[in-house]
Amino acid sequence: MSDFLKVTPIEKALKIIDEHPSALPPTVNVNTVDSISRTISKPIKSSSNLPNFERSTMDGYAVRASDTYGASQSQPSYLHVVSEIKMGSTPNTRLNTGEASRIFTGGMIPESADAVVMVEYTELIDQSLIEIIKPVAPGENIIKIGEDIKENDIIFEVGHKIRPQDIGGLLALGITQIPVFQPPKIGVISTGDELIDPKTEPIKGQVRDINSYTISSLIQKHGGEPIIFGINKDEFEIQFETAKKALSKCSIVVISAGSSTSSRDLTSKVISNLGKPGILMHGLAHKPGKPSIIGSARDKLIFGLPGNPVSAMIIFQLLVKKAINNILRRTQEIINPSKAILTTDIPSINGREEHVPVKLFNSQSGTLMAQPVFGKSNLIYTLIRSDGIVVVPINKSGVYSGDLVDVFIN
Number of Cα atoms under 13 Å in the Cβ half of residue 262? 12
Cα separation, 93 vs 400, in Å, equals 71
Average pLDDT of the chain? 94
CB neighbourhood size of 302 (10 A): 29
Number of Cα atoms under 13 Å in the Cβ half of residue 404? 4
Confidence of residue 397 (pLDDT cuts 50, 70, 90): very high
Question: Is a pLDDT exceeding 60 seen at residue 4?
Answer: no
Give every CB contact of residue 119 below 8 A, 6+ residues apart in sequence.
58, 59, 60, 61
Confidence of residue 263 (pLDDT cuts 50, 70, 90): very low
Give me the helices (H) in 3-121, please: 10-18
First vs last C-alpha separation in the chain: 37
What domains can you pick out in the chain, each with its CATH number? 3-25+183-327 (3.40.980.10), 31-50+148-181 (3.90.105.10), 55-143 (2.170.190.11), 338-409 (2.40.340.10)
Cα separation, 27 vs 10, in Å, equals 32
Q: Which amino acid is at 28?
A: V
pLDDT: which is higher, 138 or 410: 138
Least confident of 108-117, 151-160, 262-271: 262-271
- The helix (run of H) or strand (run of E) holding residue 239 is helix 236-249
Q: Which of 80, 75, 52 is nearest to 64 (CA)?
A: 80
pLDDT: which is higher, 15 or 351: 15
Three-state secondary structure call for residue 325? helix
Q: What's the pLDDT score for residue 1?
A: 40
Is cis: bond before 110, omega within 30 of 0? no
Question: Is a pLDDT exceeding 90 seen at residue 317?
Answer: yes
Over residues 211-215, the mean pLDDT reads: 98
Give me the helices (H) in 153-228, please: 164-172, 211-221
Q: Which of 97, 102, 103, 105 is nearest to 127 (CA)?
A: 102
Over residues 44-48, the mean pLDDT reads: 96
Q: What's the pLDDT score for residue 295?
A: 98
Three-state secondary structure call for residue 13? helix
Question: Is a pLDDT exceeding 50 seen at residue 272?
Answer: yes
pLDDT: which is higher, 2 or 196: 196
Over residues 103-125, the mean pLDDT reads: 98
Burial class (CB in 10 A: 0-12, 13-18, 19+), 206: middle
pLDDT tens readout for residues 152-169: 999 999 999 999 999 999
